Amino acid sequence: MSNFQVNVLLVFLLILASLLLPDPTSAQVSCQQFGNQTFCSNGQTFQRFGNQTFDNRGNSWQRFGDQTLGSQGDTYQQFGNQTFDNRGNSWQQFGNQTFGSNGTSCQRFGNQVFCR
């Protein structure tokens, strides 16, 4: 997997993890990737097989180019360094940092991602 693909995957997973935070102003979550698995401090885990990602809560996502479709009706569209979902949320990536319109911010260090 190329460095770009790893970055896209980590950003996507941190977006998913940040969406599941109960209160983005007070909660913090960190995730760490090992191969095709990602483990988050909130107990959520993700496993990737090709263009599909599954979590331990029964959710799944499938990526087609710049678009990702979720099993619960969620969709994500990526345009350059910006990602938009079908629920009015957006995220913008600058280097190793990602900022969400819902107030979340995440920072990547190697195979780890920290969000608050």
| Consecutive H or E run containing 10 | helix 3-19
pTM higher than 0.85 for the full model? no
| Residue 34: DSSP 8-state | E
How far, in Å, CA of 39 to CA of 24, rounded?
19
Residue 15: half-sphere exposure toward Cβ, Cα within 13 Å: 28
Q: Is the pLDDT of residue 27 over 70?
A: no
Q: What is the pLDDT of residues 44-65, one digit of tens each?
A: 999 999 999 999 999 999 999 9
